[in-house]
């Protein structure tokens, strides 16, 4: 059977699928048999079901029709454009790191910028340069590469 992931919480490893038969099926993360990085709300999946539970879940990666991407449910996802613009214009304060959920890295950038004046502002300037470069990298990546690198695999720097 096929369906769409309505919700998945990696913290407790549970989720909910809306099947093409208009029924909802609970599932556990260990039931996912394909690449976990594509498991998100709105993802199209193929699965088996029994007693209201889904198992043997495979995420269908090709969700295009005639070359047009029809996966438009992006709620809760991080935007590469927003992250890139935050890095370019406010990056020295680590705002883009906070946006992506990297609080430790954001605090490090903020503190270095704030107290960099003790060393003639050089550390702060280096942080602004790093943030600018990260912003360019974020924007130049494809949506899929950005998601896999910075959202799914949580790569904090470059």
SS3 sequence, 114-152?
Answer: HHHHHHCCHHHHHHHHHHHHHHHHHHHCCHHHHHHHHHH
**pLDDT 10s digits, 11-36:** 788 899 999 999 999 999 888 888 77
Grade residue 143 by pLDDT with cuts at 50, 70 and 90: confident
70-84: pLDDT as tens digits: 444 444 578 899 999
pTM over 0.85: no
Say if residue 11 is in the same domain as residue 57.
Answer: yes
Per-residue pLDDT for 68 more than 80?
Answer: no
Give me the mean pLDDT over the 109-132 stretch.
Answer: 92
Domain assignment of residue 128, yes or no: yes
Residue 71 lies in a domain: no
Q: 14 and 57: one domain?
A: yes
Helix (H) or strand (E) holding 53: strand 53-59
Q: Give the total number of structural domains in the chain.
A: 2
Residue 36 CB neighbour total at 10 angstroms: 13
Span 94-111, average pLDDT: 93
Q: Is 158 within the bounds of a domain?
A: no
pLDDT of 102 reads 92
Close Cβ partners of 19 (under 8 Å, ≥ 6 residues apart): 1, 2, 3, 25, 47, 49, 54
In a domain, 28, yes or no: yes
Query: The domain containing residue 107 runs over which residues?
Result: 80-152
Question: In this structure, are residues 96 and 135 in contact, taking their beta carbons and an 8 Å threshold?
Answer: yes
Shared domain for 59 and 8, answered yes or no, is: yes
Nearest Cα to Cα of residue 10 among 158, 157, 155, 151: 151
Q: Is residue 26 part of a domain?
A: yes
Confidence of residue 127 (pLDDT cuts 50, 70, 90): very high
């Amino acid at each position: 059977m096929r369906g769409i992931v309505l919700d998945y919480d990696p913290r407790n490893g549970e989720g909910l699928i809306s099947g093409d038969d208009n029924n909802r099926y609970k599932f556990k993360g260990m039931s996912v048999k394909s690449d976990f990085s594509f498991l998100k709300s709105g993802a199209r999946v193929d699965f088996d079901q029994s007693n209201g539970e889904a198992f043997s879940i495979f995420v269908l990666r090709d969700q295009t029709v005639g070359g047009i991407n029809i996966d438009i449910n992006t709620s809760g996802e991080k935007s590469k454009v927003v992250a890139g613009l935050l890095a370019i214009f406010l990056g020295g304060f680590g705002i883009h790191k906070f946006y992506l959920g990297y609080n430790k890295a954001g605090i490090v950038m903020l503190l270095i910028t704030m107290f960099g004046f003790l060393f003639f502002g050089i550390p702060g300037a280096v942080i602004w340069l790093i943030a600018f470069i990260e912003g360019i990298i974020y924007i130049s990546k494809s949506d899929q590469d950005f998601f896999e690198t910075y959202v799914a695999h949580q790569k904090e720097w470059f």
